[in-house]
Chain A
């Protein structure tokens, strides 16, 4: 840490350290709720609170039963011997497993759709000759701003009319729309530092526009595209309002299952799922950070 300059008075020194303490407390406020979930998910009792046994670090007070519950809940024969048939049973019948499958399926489809369309649009929008740039940009960003209830209600009526509500396609379309603003924002940010003369150089060396795009532009903006895609994925993966309005039980996703878990039977299985989701977000965050560094390196910005 930087040393305090010699001219600082005692009062300033006190403030300097108390300011650090205040910031530390705010960081705790940010991170503690997420960390609290982890130990609670190993609770042997069906409660959301720390038992005396847990506080005494008694191994008896901890268990993996809620993690097992993720696999077992809804199975036809949960107590059958652990073999291939058991796993097939879990895969096909367990409620949470279905939610996990749905979440990944819908998330990946929505991400592909929004990343492909969003990247193209961001490239178009970053060109100065684009007419009505500002207006179009604000329309394309608006799904992020409009309250989700209004979006979901509007889609509910419209998709019902064209028979897309309660189908996978409807949910995927809704999630793709909600994810595009993130793709546009991240890709546009990468394009800001993009040197246009590279495209001209490539053209003058005889490459066609398509070759230029894939050989020159794409490798440079790919970190932005991937992080935009991850944003879009996490948006879909975390979205519940559109699912509440548009999906049938068949399209139940993880957040939807958690929603009914919190509202109906509150069980620590939700905490176990939450722990897994925290791990997922740590992985995604790491990937994004690595991509950001790579993008900075590619564009010649060094970390100080």
Chain B
């Protein structure tokens, strides 16, 4: 055969091309298997979350419902005295919103920017029909507050549909017309404190899980398989038991008339009147969350420890190391991947926790998820909920990325 001639398959096409075709077909087949689920997850999970995130930076309530005033506010510099023209447009838009019954939405939107302005809008809108020019005078006559510059500045900020304002609020800053962003004063900072508390509680839960999980995983990994399989049930049963069952159980155990307090009174540690409050506060949240997330720490630790040959420890001992030294120098470094995997997983799951804090957290055991749910369901400030969620999601995704880089999600195991 001529060396310059490409090698061909039976039907005469070059082998290289044939191979490329076969590779392409198998690639297509593999993709075809994944596509249905990928499309489903993208459509019903990823896209809704992206849409939610968009709400965190975009809110066109004001622009949409107050179109005339929006035009005027755009050209206004934000510090000079509001003009008669602006007041006229305000009245025109208020009349329209009153007729469309949409004034409530406008009022709530401005109220999010400057608290205490809701009634200003609703009451003036009621009277808007009867107002006569010159509007500036007659509007201010209905409510003196209309003459204040800060009301107009708040409106100028809300008429900006694409806004960083909600993210600023999530970080306890306020957006101003003329001075950029300013931090709120210490006493009124709630969200940053909540983020810090969430990180603190998640950190404590992670450390507690490590502290409790490490010895158990070690025991399970070193015992003969017949015993460890039995003990494993004690880890897996809580893992498989409903979250609400476990939370209910902790309420039964920790409440002031509960098992632990009864026991403590019976032993005599505390009096019947001075029972400990172990639940409906941060303590309750931490205890219940540690219990719920502990299996997520034990399982990865166990799977790493099982691969460590016991002969290493024996070798270290025979070379003269004390048991403590052998453990710290030889055994522990090999378990670091397990510590990393379990710790990250517990931390990721803990910072997004909602159910348990909501049920046993009381006042000071609430996490950022509970605040998001509050803004979603109670205060109906959806853009703020989205912005808080965006910050939380950002943090979680960074941790997830780190988990993938360090451990690899392919190595995630369950049970």
Interface residues of A (CB under 8 A from B): 1-2, 12, 15, 19-20, 22-23, 26-27, 29-34, 36-37, 40, 47-50, 117-118, 120-121, 123-125, 127, 129-131, 134, 136-143, 145-151, 153-159, 173-174, 176-177, 180, 182, 185-186, 188-189, 227, 231, 234, 237-238, 240-241, 245, 254-255, 258-259, 262-263, 266, 270-271, 274, 277-278, 281-282, 284-285, 288-289, 292, 303-304
Contacts and interface: CB of A to CB of B under 8 A. Distances in A.
Contact of A234 (B227, B233, B240): B240
Interface in B273-308: 291, 294-295
A240 B242 CA distance: 10
A137 B409 contact: yes
B49 A238 contact: no
B137 interface: no
Contacts of B36: 117, 120-121
Contacts of A50: 259, 262
B34 A120 contact: yes
B212 A26 contact: yes
Contact of A149 (B34, B50, B251, B389): B389
Enumerate the 7 nearest inter-chain pairs by beta-carbon distance, A residue then B residue, closest first. Answer: A147-B352, A124-B33, A158-B48, A154-B48, A121-B37, A154-B52, A33-B249
B168 interface: no
Given A36-B253, A120-B33, A124-B34, A146 B393 contact: yes
Given A30-B234, A49-B258, A157 B48 contact: yes
A120 B245 CA distance: 33
8 contacts: A30-B234, A49-B257, A131-B31, A153-B372, A153-B373, A258-B244, A262-B244, A274-B248
B243 interface: yes
B52 A37 contact: no
- Interface residues of B: mostly helix, strand, loop or mixed? helix
B59 interface: no
Given A139-B38, A240-B355, A129 B323 contact: no
Contact of A240 (B23, B244, B412): B244
B240 A281 contact: yes
B73 to A, nearest CB: 28
A122 to B, nearest CB: 9
B37 A285 contact: no
Interface in B216-261: 216, 219, 223-225, 227, 231, 233-238, 240-253, 255, 257-259
Contact of A27 (B227, B231, B393): B231
A264 to B, nearest CB: 12
Contact of B44 (A1, A23, A118, A174): A174
- Greatest chain B CB density within 10 A among A145, A155, A288 is at A145
A37 B117 CA distance: 51
Contacts of A31: 234, 237-238
A53 B45 CA distance: 52
B257 A47 contact: yes
Nearest to B395: A147
Contact of B245 (A34, A136, A140): A34
Contacts of B3: none
A125 B51 CA distance: 28
A285 B233 contact: yes
B208 to A, nearest CB: 10
Contacts of A173: 44
B44 A285 contact: no
A140 B240 CA distance: 22
Contacts of A118: 37
Given A48-B252, A150-B393, 9 more contacts: A30-B238, A37-B249, A40-B252, A117-B40, A129-B26, A131-B31, A258-B245, A274-B248, A277-B245
B244 A238 contact: yes
B91 interface: no
Contacts of B11: none
Contacts of B37: 117-118, 120-121, 140, 180
Given A234-B240, A262-B251, A285-B237, A147 B369 contact: yes
B30 A150 contact: no
A274 B414 contact: no
B106 to A, nearest CB: 21
Contact of A141 (B255, B291, B412): B412
B173 interface: no
B413 interface: yes
Contacts of A231: 414
A157 B48 CA distance: 7
A259 B354 CA distance: 12
A288 B30 contact: no
Contacts of B244: 238, 240, 255, 258-259, 262, 274
Contacts of B369: 147-149
A149 B412 contact: no
B246 A156 contact: no
A271 B404 CA distance: 39
B237 A48 contact: no
A108 to B, nearest CB: 17
Contacts of A303: 225
A22 B33 CA distance: 49
B376 interface: yes
B376 A245 contact: yes
A279 to B, nearest CB: 10
- Greatest chain B CB density within 10 A among A139, A146, A186, A289 is at A146
B27 interface: yes
B248 A258 contact: yes
Contacts of A157: 48, 51-52, 55, 382
B267 to A, nearest CB: 15
Given A137-B410, A139-B38, A34 B249 contact: yes
B351 interface: yes
